[in-house]
Amino acid sequence: MLRLGLCCVFKEEPIRFRTATATAISKLSRQGQLAKLEAIALANAESLLQSLRYCYAHAIGCFRVNSQILPLRTHPDVGWAVNDLPNSGAVVTALRRCGAFAKQNGLRLTFHPDQFVVLGSPNPQVVGNSIAELEYQAEVASWIGADVITIHGGGSYGDKPSALDRWRRNFAHLSKGVRTRIALENDDRVYTPTDLLPVCQAAKIPLVYDVHHHRCHPDDLDEKEATERARATWNREPLFHISSPLGGWSAPNARKHDDFIALRDFPPYWSTLDITVEVEAKTKEVAIAKLHRALQSRAARHSRAKSPRRAKGFAK
């Protein structure tokens, strides 16, 4: 069964996640900082629960959790640990409640860290910061039951094999909680599915196939071959990404995401698979609803086309 996924925030639904800046937090005493961060964490846990209720009510099978659900968690100056909070147990309990709701209602949860998470960087500080961020997200993932943390290969730094070799070595330093959730995604400039599949196979991690990225940055695989090879890397339901280019494929920069998904950009073959497809469109839940209707309509047309025609004169 095809499962569509919503990414992080809403366009029209009045569900919001709170955030904080290091500048604002740094003006408070440490006690004040932790009290403020705890209040935001509790508010975001409630917003996550509301998000999951919305997804369940609107047949959205997956929700990507914002990396900043616990804002500034790994910041070098004002970072914090959950156990630092005055009522840390309340925060963990609230997040576990989200996980219980998701599990009870068959919803999938994922993470997708920001671009600064780069395991293949030649800069040890960047790698250290990346590992800290991944460990934090895996901690939250363990509370809410998220099974995927999707990251990119990062830059090639003029030597793609060396960068991927660093990626593999640094991956080995991650905790089991991160390693069992990490998935690599092909990008639209550097790493194709062909580049990443050997890394996935060697590290025994899955490939998140982004078909839009593949169209922007192709390799020797066609879309069906890439789909099948990516599916083979998963030991659970595969996770893929879909988006359409802003202004269409003739636009000057096809890498930019459009507000909606053009039906022609959604591979018909995917509709027959048991996969999760996160919808990366700017209008969020609105785009998912429109895509869902379009996919249903396409399936109905396909079904009618395959059905034998009624014999002439046959009673209705």
Show the low-confidence residues of the chain (pLDDT under 70): 308-316
CB 193 within 8 A of CB 176: no
pLDDT at residue number 309? 57
Using CA atoms, how far apart are residues 205 and 184, in angstroms rounded to an integer?
A: 8
pLDDT at residue number 312? 43
pLDDT at residue number 178? 98
| Residue range 4-55, pLDDT digits in tens | 999 999 999 999 999 999 999 999 999 999 999 999 999 999 999 999 999 9
pLDDT at residue number 299? 87
Which of 218, 270, 211, 275 shows the shortest CA–CA distance to 244? 211
Q: What pTM did the predictor assign?
A: 0.94
Question: Could you tell me the end-to-end alpha-carbon distance of the chain, in angstroms, rounded to an integer?
Answer: 32
And the tokens for 206? 């899955």
CB 224 within 8 A of CB 269: yes
Question: DSSP secondary structure string, 173-221?
Answer: TS-HHHHTTEEEE--SSS--HHHHHHHHHHHT--EEEEHHHHHHS--S-
Q: Which fold has domain 3-14+61-68+108-306?
A: TIM Barrel (3.20.20)
Using CA atoms, how far apart are residues 116 and 221, in angstroms rounded to an integer?
A: 28
pLDDT at residue number 308? 64
pLDDT at residue number 234? 98
Cα dihedral 235, 239, 240, 246 in deg (nearest 10) = -160
- Exposure string (b/e) for 35-58, b if CB count within 10 Å is 16 or more? ebbbebbbebbebbbbbbebbbee
Q: Where are the domains of the chain?
A: 3-14+61-68+108-306, 15-60+69-107
pLDDT at residue number 313? 39
